[in-house]
Amino acid sequence: MTDAPILEVRDLAVTFRGEGGALTVVNDVSFTVRRGETLALVGESGSGKSVTSLAILRLLPPAPRCTVSGSVRFIGRDGRARSLLDLDAGAMQAVRGDEISMIFQEPMTSLNPVHRIGDQIAEAVTFHRGVGRKAALARAEELLELVGIPEPRRRLAAYPHHLSGGMRQRVMIAMALACDPSLLIADEPTTALDVTVQAGIIDLLKALQAKTGMAIIFVTHNLGVVAEIADSVMVMYAGRIVERGDAVGLLQHPRIPYTQGLLSAVPRIDRLDFGGGALPTIPGNVPDPGRLPPGCSFHPRCAHARPGACDATVPALEEAGAGRVVRCHLWREIEAVGA
């Protein structure tokens, strides 16, 4: 990892409009990703992780159904900075799939069921590299071998339903890597896979990153995976960043109740209760973005919440030392008690 930034997101907000009016699902999101860095974007389902990722690549519905504001600044291979939210459709299409790629959550719905695997991978190579079909299929075979699919030449003629879930996920990774992207956005790439396949996917991404130097935004709710792959972590709740910092420090010493609750709910071998005790849980659910509680969005679920403070105003992001930022009215008091 270097200190050179590749992506700078500032004040990102996403608002959907429907019959019920405007609904802001991502608000005041700012972060930087550096070359060779893996940033894990974590939080419960409905916290805004995937929408943030889709907004960066402009894969959300067009205005007026969806409005994206703020700035997304990307520094390409040529060293030139581009504002992704201001590019026209053609220029954005040239970036998407070439310099920035995405692995989507569910490969069975992301892959086209009526086209062969080889053709789907080769399409991106043909479009972005301008090569013929033969050269594009040769590159597709090379990519299938790279991601560990046996008999890659034979698999070029396979359809998605011929492959297992783990192999389909590897095909998605091959497609995302087809043009050697500088930034890879991996949206829940190991969800619904068994632990052995999951470990293989993580090892594959780490090996490819070490080889190519690409940056990764890894979207997940699995904190066990975060510990394996991330350099830094950004925790989201109800569309906002609530804690951000380096992975080791944040996982070992979370400073706000929400992150503490997420980590407490992770099964650990050194904390197994063989008497049948239940894992700790966070009570309640992520709030509906159309009915956010006043003040801190987490306060109805928080054991530390204080009436008159936590339910009065939305806490601002504050520096908490050692590169950590937190969004909590009471984080200093909670840390003092735990010290």
pLDDT surpasses 60 at 274:
no
pLDDT at 339: 47
Q: Of 120-134, 192-206, 245-259, 293-307, which range is least confident?
A: 192-206
- Rounded Cα distance, 317 and 325, in Å: 6
Containing 187, the helix (H) or strand (E) segment is strand 183-187
pLDDT surpasses 60 at 276:
no
pLDDT at 277: 64
pLDDT at 205: 86
Q: Which residues are CB-neighbours of 121 under 8 A, at least 6 positions away?
A: 139, 140, 143, 144, 171, 174, 175, 178
Using an 8 Å Cβ cutoff, are 85 and 74 in contact?
no
pLDDT at 198: 78
- Rounded Cα distance, 214 and 16, in Å: 32
pLDDT band at 275 (very low <50, low <70, confident <90, very high): low
| Domains of the chain, each with CATH number or no CATH | 1-99+181-275 (3.40.50.300), 113-179 (no CATH)
pLDDT at 272: 59
pLDDT surpasses 80 at 27:
yes
pLDDT band at 119 (very low <50, low <70, confident <90, very high): very high
pLDDT band at 70 (very low <50, low <70, confident <90, very high): very high
Selected residue with higher pLDDT from 71 and 107: 71
- Rounded to the nearest integer, the mean pLDDT of the chain is 90
Using an 8 Å Cβ cutoff, are 242 and 26 in contact?
no
Residue listed under structure tokens 């590897």: 170
The pTM of the whole model exceeds 0.85: yes
- Please give the C-alpha separations between residue 268 and each of 45, 142, 224, in angstroms, as whole numbers: 22, 39, 9
